[in-house]
Structure 1
Amino acid sequence: MNGWTRFKCFIVGWNPDILKNCSEASYKALKKYASSILILLFIWGATGYTFAQRYLSVHTWWGCALTALIFMIIVIQIERQVILTVGKNKWIVRFRTLLAILMALIGSTILDQIIFKNDVEKVLVDIRADKINEISGKRQKTMQLEINKLNMIIDSLDVINSKLNDEVAKRPTIAVTNVTTEKNPVVNQDGTKTTNTKTIVSTQHVANTRIEQIKSNTATIDKCRSRLDELYNQKINVEVTVRKELEANAGFLEELKAMIVLISSEALAGVFYFLLFTFILALELLVVVSKTKDVTCDYDLVVEHQLNVKRDVMNDLVKKQ
């Protein structure tokens, strides 16, 4: 048995040792199952890669490849649920059919959003216009509140500085009086010691302390005016800023909404989506149809026989006990 056959056994979930003793019918069944799964792996691998690149903000090729690998592993595990079922199980077939519809819906939606990228962008322009106006209005309202607050601070500090400047103009300096006391020991004629106390009063002219307060207020006013300039510029360009933010962070749901609008408004887009959905659904159901409609191959018969033998042995053991 060559490596390619073993690889197909790995994908399908078959045991190569059992397959070696089976007929050509089992090899053909293996080829059919493997072909169906490989087709799905190509589709879902590409879907996972582009999905990671576009919507998960994965900017490295290996990150996108890892996401694609995860998608492919999920597909393999799902298909094995049907292929490895021993005997006929209607519930697993029904469940896989439901899952096929959901997977086809998801896959066709993601692929359509990628295929119709330019058309979706045109629809997004109209959808984003209302959103831009809403977000811009809220931001402008918040900015205006801050602008009003800064203007009040500037006005109040201007009034205070005006009064302080008048006060400084009248009294540029203020007199500071310092009082010091000196104690000098004195020896009297009779030999006793006493202390003479001398009070010294000095006056010093220093700059009015209001000048420092004016400087501090002026610095605060400059900061407020600088912030005002920033807010006015932001307020003028708020729509451009919001538009860039929305375009830079394209969301899956946002594009899905645009896709729905495009499909519902453009008949050709709706037809293409239906065809793509049907195509993926048919591919998803290939394994189910092969498993339920084809004649059971001897590989399945061997596995089923082994199960029956094991069941009989276990039943005999239970009866003996």
Structure 2
Amino acid sequence: MKWWLQFGCFLTGWNRRILSQCSEASFKYLKKYTAALLILIILWGFTGFCFAQRYVHTPLWGCVLSSVIFIVIVIQIERQIILAVKTSKFIFAFRFFIAVIMAVLGSSILDQVIFGEDIKRKMVEITDRQVVELLPSRLRTIEDKLNELQQNIDSLESKTAMLNEEIAKEPVKKAVTTTTTYKNVQQEDGTYKKIPETTVSSVLVPNPLTKQVEMNGLNLDRLRKQQDEFVQKKIGVEDSLREELSTNIGFLEELRAMLEIILTRKEAMVFYIIIFLFLVSLELFVVASKVGDKKCDYELIIEHQLNVKATALDELVKNIR
């Protein structure tokens, strides 16, 4: 069996030994299913790679891994139809539901790649609106902090001024010191005994409030420094907010921008509908082939084996009873 057919059996899950006993019609069915799967593999492999690269920001190996995961999911979904022995309306209805969901996801990701430049321009407009909405609250927060700092500065300056007035009235204070010395005094019996002698003296020292004034000065410098920092923040708050909004753009933000483009521009809406219908059609490729064509001899053999096995099991159950 040629490698192409072996590869097709690997993708679809068909049994190579059974296929080798079938006619050319089964080989054509296999090639058709394989071609449909390859289209979906290429499409979803590219979609998974772009999604990981654009929104998850993974390295190259992460993008490749994401692409492989998307491909495996698609193959397993399509096998639910290809390997169905007895089809039912429920299976096809459920597959159609999945196809619509996958088409929505795929078109959302692909359109955000295709409309990349338009989305960038739209994001500038959205960012401007967000700045207008968020700027008053940011300014209010900074103003509250500046008012709090100014109150602390005014309070500390008032206390320092009062301390300076007290220091001006009494720049130095008298400090009393007491020293005790021991003197050996001979007793009547000839022994010596240490007798304490206390000396009291007074010295002039700087007012202790001077140290408190120095500490207040250091605290005032720290508060004024913080005040200057918040003043600078207030001056550049709009630029910093715009930069923050511009650097934190995720999938949902770009999706919102894309929706605005689609809803406000007719040509974008038409193109999105075309992409969506194209993806839905691709997703239903295998389903349409399964429903529209007659069963090939490969499927007839599988169904025959199932019927034979089921009949044998029924006879076995009857004999046991």
Q: Offset of 1:301 from its aligned partner?
A: 1.4
| Aligned position for 1:296 | 295
Deviates more, 1:301-310 or 1:206-215: 206-215
Deviations 1:242-277 (A, max 9, x none): 221222121222222222221121111111111111
Q: Offset of 1:66 from its aligned partner?
A: 1.3
1:196 match: secondary structure:
strand
CA contact (8 A) 2:127 2:246 kept: no
Given residue 265 of structure 1, which amino acid in structure 2 is its aligned partner? T
Q: Offset of 1:100 from its aligned partner?
A: 0.8
Matches within 5 A, 1:1-321: 1-58=1-58, 60-191=59-190, 196-321=195-320
1:14 match: secondary structure:
coil
- What is the distance in 2 between the residues matched to 1:198 and 1:143? 66
Given residue 306 of structure 2, which amino acid in structure 1 is its aligned partner? L
Q: Offset of 1:203 from its aligned partner?
A: 2.7
- What is the distance in 1 between the residues matched to 2:100 and 2:191? 120
CA contact (8 A) 1:133 1:239 kept: no
Deviations 1:116-147 (A, max 9, x none): 12222222333332222222222211111111
CA contact (8 A) 2:186 2:192 kept: yes
Q: Offset of 1:155 from its aligned partner?
A: 1.0
Instruction: Report the count of equivalent residues.
Output: 320
Q: Extract unaligned runs of 5+ from structure 1.
A: none
**TM-score in terms of structure 2 length:** 0.93
- What is the distance in 2 between the residues matched to 1:90 and 1:100? 15
Deviations 1:174-232 (A, max 9, x none): 33222123343422335476553311113344333323222222222222122112211
Deviations 1:46-66 (A, max 9, x none): 1111112222232x1111121
- What is the distance in 1 between the residues matched to 2:223 and 2:3? 75
CA contact (8 A) 2:176 2:200 kept: yes
Deviations 1:285-315 (A, max 9, x none): 1000111111211221122122112212221
- What is the distance in 2 between the residues matched to 1:196 and 1:118? 100
- What is the distance in 1 between the residues matched to 2:182 and 2:164? 43
2:198 match: secondary structure:
strand
What do you get for the CA RMSD once the two structures are aligned? Answer: 1.9
Q: Offset of 1:86 from its aligned partner?
A: 0.7
Given residue 62 of structure 2, which amino acid in structure 1 is its aligned partner? G
Q: Extract unaligned runs of 5+ from structure 2.
A: none
